[in-house]
Amino acid sequence: MTVYFNGSYQPKDAVRVSPDDRGFLLGDGVYEVARTYGGRLFAIDRHLERLRYSLGELRITGVAVDTLGQVFEELLRINGLMAGDALVYFQVTRGAARRAHGFPEPPVAPTTYGYAAPLALKFDHTKGVAAITVPDRRWARCDIKTISLVANCLANQEAQEAGAFEAILVRDGVALEGSHTNLFAVLGGEVWTAPLSNYILPGITRAILIGICRAAGMPVHERPIQVEEIRRADEVFLAGTTTEALGVVRLDGRPVGTGVPGPVTLRLRQLFLKETARR
Ligand code: PDD
């Protein structure tokens, strides 16, 4: 595999990251995950805009975000991923400097790393997945796509050990999002999802699905969803770059709705796929 590291393309095995890198020592960095459909990057401008936001919030400078679309294209080309579906990962850390909590002084160049790989999905949209609810133990800036994901990893591992795909994170009785997906519910025939705040990631799939609902005349609300509401929802689904709209058919061991992906979830996924073909 050929990857991108600090401005050049190199074999993955040739990459040398400093042990002083603040991503390694402190989790001080941000990332993005985008994907292709039939070899074409999807919603890439939105991903780059969110990367700009994450970098800005962490005050990491020195990354030419405008040029990254070309880097992603090049990674796809070099790795023979111009056909089919692939994932592109990109991360930036504050760089390598003697360990200290404050920013390096004088400033150092950020470390940039990107790769492209064939998409390998662990679920079937027609069958849906199981989820569990867990307390949200993350920090209070979940709107930043930071590589500091230990709370997400612990929650997701708990889900896997319970035989589930996703952990739905609950804070003060409100179901916010999954460990790596946004959360939607269908209540009384209408689509609900958590409002944007510092407690969720502003998901790109989430935003596109809201737009699709509006364009199709399906009522959609950005309102807090109580955990009891997802338990008695007609449908619950997850939204994310790799998951698209994916039905949750079991929650904490009990069936959701009729126990199969619901009609709204399936329709939204079909409309979403049409959208991916248009861009
Ligand atoms: N996860 N919420 C969280 C906490 C996420 O990590 C993600 C994405 C999403 C969905 O966002 P989007 O639709 O922009 O992919 C919501 C990525 C895919 C990951 O960490 O692998």
- For a mutational test of ligand 1's pocket, the pick from 48, 119, 201, 212, i.e. the residue with the most ligand atoms closer than 8 A to its C-beta, is 201
Strand pairing class (129-135; 244-251): parallel
Compute the distance from residue 203 Cα to the ligand 1 centre, in Å: 6
Average confidence score pLDDT of the chain: 98
Is any ligand 1 atom within 6 A of the Cβ of residue 201? yes
Sheet with 86-93, side-by-side order of all strands: 8-11, 2-5, 111-118, 86-93, 29-37, 40-41
- For a mutational test of ligand 1's pocket, the pick from 37, 142, 180, i.e. the residue with the most ligand atoms closer than 8 A to its C-beta, is 180
42 neighbors 36 (Cβ within 8 angstroms): yes
Domains identified in the chain, total number? 2
163 lies in the same domain as 248: yes
216 lies in the same domain as 257: yes
223-236 mean pLDDT: 98
Q: Is residue 165 one of the residues assigned to a domain? A: yes
Report the pLDDT value the prediction gives residue 279, as an integer from 0 to 100: 60
66-93 mean pLDDT: 97
Query: CA distances (Å), 163 to each of 72, 160, 208, in order?
Result: 34, 5, 29
Query: CA distances (Å), 167 to each of 73, 130, 245, in order?
Result: 33, 9, 16
Q: Is residue 124 one of the residues assigned to a domain? A: no
For residues 147, 135, 131, 84, the Cα torsion angle rounded to the nearest 10 degrees is -10
Q: The domain spanning residue 166 has which CATH number? A: 3.20.10.10
- Which three-class secondary structure state does DSSP give residue 70? helix
Taking residue 120's Cβ as centre, other Cβ atoms within 10 Å add up to 8
162 lies in the same domain as 241: yes
Domain boundary among 118, 147, 163: 118
Q: Enter the pTM of the model.
A: 0.97
The model's pLDDT over 83-107, given as tens digits with 9 standing for 90+, comes to 999 999 999 999 999 999 999 999 9
Is any ligand 1 atom within 6 A of the Cβ of residue 205? yes
152 lies in the same domain as 241: yes
The model's pLDDT over 115-150, given as tens digits with 9 standing for 90+, comes to 999 999 999 999 999 999 999 999 999 999 999 999
Q: One-letter amino acid identity for 30?
A: V
Q: Which atom of ligand 1 is nearest to the CA of 201?
A: 2
Exposure letters 48-68 (e unless 16+ CB within 10 A, then b): bebbeebbeebebeebeeeeb
60 lies in the same domain as 190: no
Compute the distance from residue 145 Cα to the ligand 1 centre, in Å: 8
Q: What is the rounded CA–CA span in Å between residue 79 and residue 169?
A: 36
Domain that holds residue 147: 129-278
Q: What is the rounded CA–CA span in Å between residue 174 and residue 226?
A: 4
Active-site residue among 12, 122, 127, 145? Answer: 145
Is any ligand 1 atom within 6 A of the Cβ of residue 177? yes
| Helix H or strand E encompassing 240 | strand 235-240
220 lies in the same domain as 166: yes
Tokens of 258: 């009729």
Take atom 16 of ligand 1 and give the residue whose Cα is closest: 181
Q: Is residue 44 one of the residues assigned to a domain? A: yes
- Is pLDDT of 241 > 70? yes
9 neighbors 78 (Cβ within 8 angstroms): yes
Compute the distance from residue 98 Cα to the ligand 1 centre, in Å: 31
Report the pLDDT value the prediction gives residue 134, as an integer from 0 to 100: 98
- For a mutational test of ligand 1's pocket, the pick from 181, 196, 197, i.e. the residue with the most ligand atoms closer than 8 A to its C-beta, is 181
136 lies in the same domain as 272: yes
- Which three-class secondary structure state does DSSP give residue 22? helix
The model's pLDDT over 5-51, given as tens digits with 9 standing for 90+, comes to 999 999 999 999 999 999 999 999 999 999 999 999 999 999 999 99
114 lies in the same domain as 152: no
Is any ligand 1 atom within 6 A of the Cβ of residue 117? no
State the residue for tokens 């001080």. 28
Tokens of 274: 């049409």
Is any ligand 1 atom within 6 A of the Cβ of residue 257? no
Task: Confirm whether 145 is a catalytic residue.
Answer: yes
- Which three-class secondary structure state does DSSP give residue 241? coil
